[in-house]
Amino acid sequence: MISLHGLTKEFPGGVRAIDALDLEIADGEFFALLGPSGCGKTTLLRTIAGLETPTRGRVAIGGVDVTATPPGRRDVAMVFQDYALFPHMDVTDNIAYPLRIRKVPRAERRARAAETAARLSLAELLARRPGQLSGGQQQRVALARAIACHPRAFLFDEPLSNLDARLRLEARTFLKRLQRDLAVTTVFVTHDQGEALALADRVAVMSGGRIMQVGTPAEVFQRPASTFVASFIGSTPMNLLPGEVRGGGLRVAGARLPLPQEAAGLPEGAGVVYGVRPEYVDLSPAPRPGAFAGRVAVLENLGTAHLVTLEVPAEDGEPPAGSEPGGATVQAVVPEGGEPALGEAVWAAPRHERALVYHDDVLLTRAPDRAAR
């Protein structure tokens, strides 16, 4: 188990990369640190490894406080984004290097390196230098080197970002199977939400050195706790539309929508952000109640579907506070064959059971105490 308590890292010059962060990662868990660049996720991983010393707070691995322990004695293995394979050593020597540091006899460490390499289908490449390997092979050598020293935890820094797009999918499946087989606690850093959702048992979404939400991939995808998480997770960004409570319903981008149960406690005139994923928006060519009326501005082909961007004109009368003066933009994903023509007038109806309502940037839930905020 890896636990972090009140962890803060400030760099000289006052930049706070990690801000009073608490986190618990369970044994055997595949855990993703997800966030945009500069959110502190790599610094957090390096602090767990011991390559950075926290300004305040504690790091514990397996119940032992390792805050002051040098990286080599934490019993973790790290795979770097550039793999950091030693270019002057062949594959065997690279994999055996951690064992060499632990003074394992030469014959034994070579045997163990060969065994680990065989497991990762590297048996034919043992005599090669890293420069003679493809990106995918280099990644597997880096993994083999981490596995060969049987650590208590793996730390991966952007493990897939140096691979080209097609290989990345293959490596992702491989990595997931490997982690499941080894059942070793693994923390990895990524800026790719798809990678985090696909690989991890749990995801921590980070921004500005803080954790915005921790949850299973399903939780952070279906019920993002804030508009930041909502906009960051999902291959097409969620529609986040400003609206307000008016006359027992919601007034959003010119449409009158029924008041969701979780927003029942809000007073008349309260400002909200209405969120719905483009996948949960249905288009129809005829007017419908509870739908946004707009014109097709952009059509993007996603292969088996189309991403349709609608321009919804500014409504008559007073628009809700915070809405754009020129109207709103609503996106919908339409299955192949059903896409409208460019410039066509269409009505976009959100599926209300999938919609999320944010008040003061907090997701409203059905629990009555929360709704009363």
| Complex with other proteins: residue 116 or 331, whichever CB lies closer | 116
Least gap, CB of 82 to other proteins (angstroms)? 6
Burial category of 247 from C-beta neighbours within 10 Å (exposed 0-12, middle 13-18, buried 19 and up): exposed
3-class secondary structure, 333: strand
| Complex with other proteins: residue 86 or 298, whichever CB lies closer | 86
| Complex with other proteins: residue 51 or 298, whichever CB lies closer | 51
Place of tokens 């059903």: 338
| Complex with other proteins: residue 55 or 81, whichever CB lies closer | 81
Least gap, CB of 270 to other proteins (angstroms)? 50
Does residue 275 contact residue 356 with C-beta atoms inside 8 Å?
yes
Residues 258-264: contacts with CB within 8 Å, 24+ apart?
A: 258/290, 258/352, 260/352, 260/355, 260/357, 260/364, 261/366, 262/357, 262/364, 262/365, 262/366, 262/370, 262/371, 263/357, 263/359, 263/364, 263/371, 264/371
Least gap, CB of 98 to other proteins (angstroms)? 4
| Calpha distance 31→159 (Å, rounded) | 13
Least gap, CB of 138 to other proteins (angstroms)? 13
| Other C-beta atoms lying within 10 Å of the C-beta of residue 342 | 11
Least gap, CB of 53 to other proteins (angstroms)? 13
Least gap, CB of 181 to other proteins (angstroms)? 22
| Complex with other proteins: residue 84 or 111, whichever CB lies closer | 84
Binding stretches for other proteins (CB under 8 A)? 49-51, 70-74, 76-78, 80-82, 84, 86-88, 97-98, 101-102, 149
Least gap, CB of 157 to other proteins (angstroms)? 9
Least gap, CB of 101 to other proteins (angstroms)? 5
| Calpha distance 225→229 (Å, rounded) | 7
| Complex with other proteins: residue 42 or 213, whichever CB lies closer | 42
Does residue 118 contact residue 49 with C-beta atoms inside 8 Å?
no
Residue type, 243: G
Least gap, CB of 40 to other proteins (angstroms)? 18
Place of tokens 């915005």: 212
| Complex with other proteins: residue 3 or 69, whichever CB lies closer | 69
| Other C-beta atoms lying within 10 Å of the C-beta of residue 284 | 12
Does residue 221 contact residue 34 with C-beta atoms inside 8 Å?
no
| Complex with other proteins: residue 84 or 299, whichever CB lies closer | 84
| Complex with other proteins: residue 78 or 126, whichever CB lies closer | 78
Does residue 154 contact residue 189 with C-beta atoms inside 8 Å?
no
Q: Which two tokens stand for residue 132?
A: 């003679």
